Chain A
Amino acid sequence: MIKRLVVLLLLAGIGAIFMSLLLGYTPDNELNLTARYYAEHTAQDIGAANIVTAIIVTYRGLDTLGEVTVLFLTAAIVGLVLAQGRQQNSQRSQRKLPESGELLQTGSLLLTPLILLLGVYVFVNGHLTPGGGFQGGAILASAILLMLLTDPMRHFSHRLISVLESISGLIFITIGVLGIIYAGGFLDNRILPTGSLGQLFSAGVIPIIYSFIGLKVGAEFSSMLVNLSETEGS
């Protein structure tokens, strides 16, 4: 009880901090310097219609690289953690589970390609419309998830997933490095022509990068899910 009281008291303190932040907050009427720059320059510099995408992939590309790395790390660590567990439990995981229903199986067979397609669409069009690599990747992963749900015993090639993941990551970095060589700096997207605003093949390397991000994110999420699903409850 005392603990709750202490926590409440502390939260009151934190709340007070938040409260004064809230009260001190006045929405901007104008875009600030940085945002204005993006609004005005994205189109000609980057050629991406979706400014958020431009920021994510190019201006703050290093963040995104980090972000992808976070997922990569998590997937690796989850793999590491579960790999340790799996060695002991490999025997028991072979036991039979009841098959899922006919409807579910057929449905998933039907849906999976569609979902995959949707995912690809989302990340390929990331520079034009809302959505992009992360969302697309998540959608890709959900296709895998669906397959896992229908057939928990289904075996996915870890190797394939990890190769996909690695190659995507390497390409991302390679493109970034190419930016140093052929353009203004790391992750500069102008190593390809920016094209015209609104076209699919525009915005320099953004679509390419975003696609690989999508693949990578998809692979990473899938790897996590697959790893988790292959473990056994104790």
Chain B
Amino acid sequence: MSYIAMTTGFILILIGFYGALTNRNILRMIIAFTVANTGVNLVLVAVGYMRGRTAPILDAAVPVTEAAARIIDPIPQALVLTAIVIGVGVTALMLAFVYKLYATRGSLDISNYTELKW
């Protein structure tokens, strides 16, 4: 299970990178990055997964005393939660840039924004 998720995650990252590096449309690049981010999140969670255990929530099914043996690693989940929010933050920022870039230059083609170089 975790292998599948992890593989999927990695593939998503690679797909995302590919999309981001080959599409010249900046909006598409951002889309590709969100895909890659999703992939990262998958990988993160998959790393914490343990076969046959339950979510790290203590309730009737998982009493405190047995918790250590019953639940999966909660840390990656906590990290992913943060990562998702950060990801959306960056995405929003990039989108704001896209809006602004488009407003000034009227183009979404990354290769049109090369006035700074060398």
Q: Is A130 a contact of B59 with CB atoms below 8 Å?
A: no
Q: Cβ of A217: which chain B residues have Cβ within 8 Å of it?
A: 85
Q: Is B51 a contact of A27 with CB atoms below 8 Å?
A: yes
Task: For B56, give the chain A residue with the smallest CB separation.
Answer: A51
From B3, B50, B78, contact of A60 by CB (8 A): B78
Q: Is B7 a contact of A82 with CB atoms below 8 Å?
A: no
Q: Is A31 a contact of B92 with CB atoms below 8 Å?
A: no
Minimum C-beta distance from A219 to chain B (A): 14
C-alpha spacing A78/B78, complex, angstroms: 27
C-alpha spacing A35/B22, complex, angstroms: 40
- Contact bitstring A178-197, B, C-beta under 8 A = 1, else 0: 00000000000000000001
Q: Is B47 a contact of A81 with CB atoms below 8 Å?
A: no
Q: Is A7 a contact of B22 with CB atoms below 8 Å?
A: yes
From A22, A35, A231, contact of B99 by CB (8 A): A231
- The B67-118 residues at the A interface (CB cut-off 8 A) are 67-68, 71, 73-75, 77-79, 81-82, 84-86, 88-90, 92-93, 95-97, 99-100, 102-103, 106
Q: Cβ of B96: which chain A residues have Cβ within 8 Å of it?
A: 74, 77-78, 81-82
From B17, B47, B73, B99, contact of A14 by CB (8 A): B17
Minimum C-beta distance from A190 to chain B (A): 17
Number of B residues, CB within 8 Å of A: 48
Q: Is A11 a contact of B14 with CB atoms below 8 Å?
A: yes
- The B1-40 residues at the A interface (CB cut-off 8 A) are 2-3, 6-7, 10, 13-14, 17-18, 21-22
Task: For B55, give the chain A residue with the smallest CB separation.
Answer: A130
C-alpha spacing A10/B18, complex, angstroms: 10
A38-B75 in contact given A27-B2, A43-B64, A85-B99 (Cβ < 8 Å): yes
How extensive is the interface on chain A, given as a class? 35 or more
Q: Cβ of B84: which chain A residues have Cβ within 8 Å of it?
A: 134
Q: Cβ of B78: which chain A residues have Cβ within 8 Å of it?
A: 52, 55-56, 60, 63
- Contact bitstring A17-60, B, C-beta under 8 A = 1, else 0: 01101100101110110111011101110000111100110001
Q: Is A25 a contact of B17 with CB atoms below 8 Å?
A: no
Select the residue from B6, B55, B92 with max chain A CB neighbours within 10 A.
Answer: B92
Q: Is A14 a contact of B14 with CB atoms below 8 Å?
A: yes
From A36, A44, A78, contact of B92 by CB (8 A): A78
Q: Is A52 a contact of B77 with CB atoms below 8 Å?
A: yes
A224 within 8 A of B: yes
C-alpha spacing A34/B77, complex, angstroms: 14
Q: Is B89 a contact of A73 with CB atoms below 8 Å?
A: yes
Task: For B94, give the chain A residue with the smallest CB separation.
Answer: A74
Minimum-distance CB pairs A-B, first 10: A51-B56, A70-B89, A55-B78, A39-B67, A74-B89, A43-B64, A39-B68, A35-B73, A18-B10, A81-B96
Interface positions of A (Cβ within 8 A of B): 3-4, 7-8, 10-11, 14-15, 18-19, 21-22, 25, 27-29, 31-32, 34-36, 38-40, 42-44, 49-52, 55-56, 60, 63-64, 66-67, 70-71, 73-74, 77-78, 81-82, 84-85, 129-130, 134, 197-198, 217, 224, 228, 231, 234
Can you list 16 A-B contacts with CB-CB less than 8 angstroms, sorted by A residue number? A11-B18, A14-B14, A25-B3, A40-B67, A49-B59, A51-B74, A52-B78, A60-B78, A67-B86, A73-B89, A74-B90, A77-B96, A81-B96, A134-B84, A197-B64, A198-B59
